[in-house]
């Protein structure tokens, strides 16, 4: 699936259900369950590798996992994270890294950051690389912010709204909003024409994403915005199916998952 088909789905008003995915077996299961977007997230640094942060993940590792996911995913839509240190030096470095992820099978790359990423987003888009921007809590900036909800005061909220508009203007085609107040996420979603995908950002985004290990109850201390969909499920595929159904029906996230 390419960008236009994904956009068509979003235009129908159907909520997009995304999950992280790190290998071929899970890719097959998640697709059978109806997941719209497989995100090869750099969260694999924590879920697969056991680190405390995403920072040690390398581009080679992201390429390896993207290749594996593509083998299980047929022609499904895959988004892959540009890992820390593989794009922050500027557009040229970002292009070289993104090209490796696309060659490995990604349809789109995701990068973290606001104003500082606008030039890079425009550079990639003009060269044929679909980009998902990521605002709010930026796990690659954990040393500056910790793992705390973001944009909770007026100044930071206004900055986020401005960043979102500028990233859309630069050509970003999706926007992940992580750990921000639900009201702010709703405002950003209404102000943009590209779809927003929330994680800890309330119900009013155009789609949701969660870390696979969190919905499967594999995380020792899951974030407050996640739900364990294995509870009451018969199998992993059933849990993923319940997640997809809850997202599409607007039943997840609930009020207790929002900031
Ligand atoms: O790597 C990841 O899992 C992510 C999600 C938090 C959106 O980027």
Q: Which residue of 39, 82, 86 sits with most ligand 1 atoms within 8 Å of its CB, as the best mutation to test the pocket?
A: 39
Q: In whole angstroms, how far apart are CA 65 and each of 43, 60, 94, 101, 131?
A: 12, 9, 19, 10, 19
Asked if residue 23 lies in contact with residue 69, where contact means CB atoms within 8 angstroms, the answer is yes
Average pLDDT (120-130) is: 98
Asked if residue 63 lies in contact with residue 44, where contact means CB atoms within 8 angstroms, the answer is no
- Tell me: the pLDDT tens digits for 202-247? 999 999 999 999 999 999 999 999 999 999 999 999 999 999 999 9
Q: For ligand 1, is residue 199 a contact (CB within 6 Å)?
A: yes
Contacts 24+ apart (CB under 8 A), 187-196: 187/161, 188/160, 188/161, 188/164, 191/161, 191/164, 191/165, 192/164, 192/165, 192/168, 193/168, 194/168, 195/7, 195/10, 195/16
Active site residue 162: no
Q: What is the pLDDT of residue 188?
A: 98
Q: For ligand 1, is residue 112 a contact (CB within 6 Å)?
A: no
Q: For ligand 1, is residue 240 a contact (CB within 6 Å)?
A: no
Domains (ranges, CATH) in the chain? 3-257 (3.20.20.60)
Q: What is the pLDDT of residue 45?
A: 98
Specify the pTM.
Answer: 0.97
Nearest CA to ligand 1 atom 4: 41
Q: Which of 178, 187, 237, 251 is catalytic?
A: 178
Q: For ligand 1, is residue 215 a contact (CB within 6 Å)?
A: no
Average pLDDT (182-194) is: 97
- Tell me: the pLDDT tens digits for 73-105? 999 999 999 999 999 999 999 999 999 999 999
Determine the distance separating the centroid of ligand 1 and the alpha carbon of 138, expressed in angstroms.
Answer: 9
CA–CA gap between residue 166 and residue 194 (Å, rounded): 12
Q: What is the pLDDT of residue 257?
A: 86
Beta strand spans in 121-170 (E): 131-136
- Half-sphere CA count of 87, side-chain side, radius 13 A: 30
Burial track 134-157 (b if 16+ CB lie within 10 A, e otherwise) = bbbbbbbebeeeeeebbbeeeeeb
Average pLDDT, the chain: 97
CA–CA gap between residue 69 and residue 63 (Å, rounded): 10
Tell me whether strands 108-112 and 207-210 are parallel, antiparallel or unpaired. unpaired
Q: What is the pLDDT of residue 258?
A: 83
Q: What is the pLDDT of residue 198?
A: 98
Average pLDDT (21-33) is: 98
Confidence of residue 22 (pLDDT cuts 50, 70, 90): very high
Burial track 86-104 (b if 16+ CB lie within 10 A, e otherwise) = bbbeebeebbebbebbbeb
């Amino acid at each position: 699936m390419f960008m236009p088909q994904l956009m068509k789905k979003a235009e129908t008003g159907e909520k997009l259900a995304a999950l992280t995915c790190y290998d071929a077996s899970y890719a097959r299961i998640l697709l059978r369950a109806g997941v719209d977007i497989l995100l090869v997230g750099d969260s694999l640094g924590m879920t697969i590798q056991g680190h405390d942060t995403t920072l040690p993940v390398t581009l080679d590792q992201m390429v390896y996992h993207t290749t594996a996911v593509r083998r299980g995913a047929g022609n499904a839509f895959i988004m892959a994270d540009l890992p820390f240190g593989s794009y922050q030096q500027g557009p040229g470095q970002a292009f070289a890294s993104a090209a490796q992820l696309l060659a490995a099978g990604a349809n789109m790359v995701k990068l973290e950051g606001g104003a500082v990423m606008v030039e890079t987003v425009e550079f990639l888009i003009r060269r044929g690389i679909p980009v998902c921007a990521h605002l709010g809590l930026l796990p690659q900036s954990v040393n500056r912010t910790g793992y705390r909800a973001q944009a909770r005061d007026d100044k930071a909220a206004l900055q986020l709204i401005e960043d979102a508009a500028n990233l859309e203007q630069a050509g970003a085609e999706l926007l992940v909003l992580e750990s921000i107040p639900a009201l702010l996420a709703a405002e950003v979603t209404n102000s943009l024409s590209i779809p927003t995908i929330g994680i800890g950002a309330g119900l009013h985004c155009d789609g949701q994403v969660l870390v696979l290990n969190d919905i499967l109850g594999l995380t020792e201390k899951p974030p407050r915005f996640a739900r364990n969909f294995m509870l009451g499920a018969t199998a992993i595929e059933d849990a993923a199916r319940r997640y997809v159904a809850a997202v599409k029906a607007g039943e997840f996230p609930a009020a207790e998952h929002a900031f």
